[in-house]
Structure formats: C-alpha cells, structure tokens
Amino acid sequence: MRLIAEDFITSVKLRAMVPISQQTFTEANVLQVASEELVTRMVPLIMSVREKFFLSYKRTAITASKSRYTIAERAIGNALQTVWILDTSNRRLRCVYQTDVNELTTSPGDTGSEVSQILLQGDEIVLLPTPASAFGYVEQWYYSRPNQLVLSSSCAKITAVASVGGTTTFTVNTDLTGSLSVGSKIDIVSGKSPYLLWAEDATITAITSTSIAVATTDVVDEVSAVEPVANDYICPAKQSNIPNIPEEFHPVLAQSVAYTLLKSLGMAQKAAQAKADYDELAANVLKLVGNRVESGVKPVFNPSGIHSAIGSGLPTGFLR
C-alpha cells in the first residue's frame, strides 16, 4: 500500500503510539524528519541491494569559450558517478575523468575541439581544455536525491492529459494558482511504485484552477510519448507528496521516522523497541528486493560506488 503524505503521517503516529500533537510535532515537522530519513537512511539501505536505483543524468549544452558547468544540484553529496562528452546528435564521444591539479596537461586560456580532462572545483565541472566551439553536450551521471516530502495540498493529482501543438495540458483536481504561476518549475511524480519522477523542473506555460500546461518536450520519453498519466501528481520542483522509493520501503521509512521522533522525545524504552522493529522490518524487506533480476546475478564489488566516494571525498566513478 502506497503512503501519500497524509497516510504516511498516520502510519508514523500508529507506529510511535504517542500523541504527535501540535504541541510536539506538527505534520510539517514529521515530513521534514521523513525527508531527512529518506536521504540519510533509506537511500543507503536501498543502494545496498540496488546500487543503481537512484542513478540519473543531466545534459548541458557545451558553449564556445565556456569551461565551467554547474554540477547537477540534485546529486546526492554533490558527487558524480561519471561524465560523458556527447556530440550534437547525443552520441557519446568519450568518458572524461577527473584530474588532480598537479596532473593538468593544459594551461589557463588553452582551447581545443576535444575535451580530454575535467577538474572538479567547488560546485562546478571544469572542462579542459576550454571548448573552442559549441560542439555537443556534457552529460553528468549521478545518484539523485529523493524529493522533499510535502502535504498533498501542495500538489495536484492529474485526472486527464491532452497534447496539442507542442503543448501538453494536464487537468488537475487541486487549484495551485496560489503557489504556482507561468514560469514556475514543477516535478511530475508517478502514481505507481517506485514513485519516481516522470519530469524534473518542467516549466509551466499556462495555468488555471483546473489545468496546468507545459511544453510537450518536457514530459515525453525517448520515442516522444507523453509519460505522465491520470493519477500521477504535479508538485512544485524538488517536492513530492509520495516518498520516491519502492512501495515496500514506505513502512520501513515510517518506522524509521517513528524511532527518530521517539528518541527525540526522550522515550528511551519505546525508542529502543521502535529501533528493533525497524531493524527487523528493514531486514525482511531487503530479502524481498535483494536481487532485482534473479537470474544471472553476479556478485561484484564496486570500489567506485557511492559509499566509497562519500568516504573519500571524491565523486563516484573518479576514484583511482
């Protein structure tokens, strides 16, 4: 059973067995804790059995004489799995690797038609040498952070979809004109497990109390078919009213939040029991999802996985 925000809060209250009232934790407080638990507890747990589950990518057009490109802001830990250089037809030309400053083979001001190295500096990727012309794209692969949880009143369920002349219009059941307007960015959350995003940062081109329109190119798959359907949700960018993890992990997340709240309330005995229940629940769920494809599973140790990268301070895929 999926847990939209309101159902999730109810589940947490039942698991904690304490009155989570306005004087202790508000609904917003519970969802804030849940958003933090998603990143700090659920992401590592899921990646322990499905390392590539949160893997995503972002393409940015390469501009002539521009060497610096911002690292995808949704990247967990501001870390990257790998970086590709693509041509104008989106064909991958080469994978480029991070270099240390003492291994640079280019000098400031050097330009060229072939990027051979990258340097990570702050929140930017530095392409080396500086591209002399606009010849393609830089493609970043990274582990994407789940959206922050919000109440369903901040989102709108899609009830119908229509595409005409390059514009896709979603009929919705909630008036969001008070918080969103033309030019606002939205995410579209799948209403089915694992509740990932059909679209990220789509720009609203028109909005009424019952409809939201975007450019069709923002919501199509690789064969130009519109992906969002009825019962999916439109939310402000980087927000979601459903945890962006497989349905089996929703109760695990709720139990994790119950444990954290009980611990913060100083209820040591109840917190200890909640932690034991969490450990048992997490172990049982991991048994269900351990092998995504049961046949042909090969045990492989990946020394450049996200956990190694976080521990070393280097982006994933660039460890040596």
Tokens of 235: 């939310």
Quick one: pLDDT band at residue 299, thresholds 50, 70, 90?
A: very low
124-128 and 68-70 beta bridge pairing: antiparallel
pLDDT at residue number 18? 67
**Percent of the chain beyond pLDDT 90?**
68
pLDDT at residue number 222? 85
Nearest to 151 by CA among 174, 127, 185, 126: 174
Say which residues have a Cβ less than 8 Å from residue 150's Cβ, sequence separation at least 6: 5, 31, 235, 236, 239, 240, 241
Q: What is the pLDDT of residues 145-175, one digit of tens each?
A: 999 999 999 999 999 999 999 999 999 999 9
Q: Is the pTM of this model over 0.75?
A: yes
- Distance CA(205)–CA(167), nearest Å, equals 8
pLDDT at residue number 29? 92
Domain 147-242: CATH architecture, name and number where available? Beta Barrel (2.40)
- Which amino acid, residue 90? N
Q: What is the pLDDT of residues 39-59, one digit of tens each?
A: 999 999 999 988 889 999 999
- Distance CA(180)–CA(188), nearest Å, equals 14
Answer yes or no: is pLDDT of 62 > 60. Answer: yes
Answer yes or no: is pLDDT of 74 > 90. Answer: yes
Respond yes or no on whether the N-terminal peptide bond of residue 129 is cis (omega within 30° of 0): yes
pLDDT at residue number 110? 83
Answer yes or no: is pLDDT of 296 > 60. Answer: no
Using the structure block, give the residue that is written with the tokens 């690789």: 222
204 close to 213: Cβ distance less than 8 angstroms: yes
pLDDT at residue number 23? 63
Quick one: pLDDT band at residue 292, thresholds 50, 70, 90?
A: low
As a whole number of angstroms, the longest Cα–Cα distance in the chain is 65
What does the pLDDT average to over 121-144? Answer: 92
Respond yes or no on whether the N-terminal peptide bond of residue 194 is cis (omega within 30° of 0): yes
- Distance CA(264)–CA(259), nearest Å, equals 9
DSSP 231: T
Answer yes or no: is pLDDT of 1 > 70. Answer: no
Tokens of 60: 């940015």
What does the pLDDT average to over 292-315? Answer: 44
Nearest to 93 by CA among 142, 138, 140, 57: 138
State CA 198 to chain mean position distance: 11
Q: Which segment, 2-11, 133-142, 204-213, is predicted with the most confidence on average?
A: 204-213
State how far the alpha carbon of 142 is from the alpha carbons of 46, 159, 237, 284, in Å.
16, 32, 18, 28
Report helix, strand or coil for 281: helix
Nearest to 212 by CA among 248, 241, 236: 236
State how far the alpha carbon of 235 is from the alpha carbons of 65, 197, 210, 285, in Å.
37, 10, 14, 28
Q: What is the pLDDT of residues 242-279, one digit of tens each?
A: 999 999 999 999 999 999 999 998 899 999 999 999 99
- Distance CA(116)–CA(292), nearest Å, equals 36
Please name the residue ranges forming H helices in the chain. Answer: 5-16, 27-37, 43-47, 250-264, 268-289, 306-312
What are the boundaries of each domain within the chain? 1-52+243-289, 55-143, 147-242
Answer yes or no: is pLDDT of 319 > 80. Answer: no
More confident residue, 180 or 16: 180
pLDDT at residue number 290? 67
pLDDT at residue number 305? 44
Average pLDDT, the chain: 87
pLDDT at residue number 19? 63
- Distance CA(28)–CA(9), nearest Å, equals 10
What does the pLDDT average to over 53-79? Answer: 93
Answer yes or no: is pLDDT of 320 > 70. Answer: no
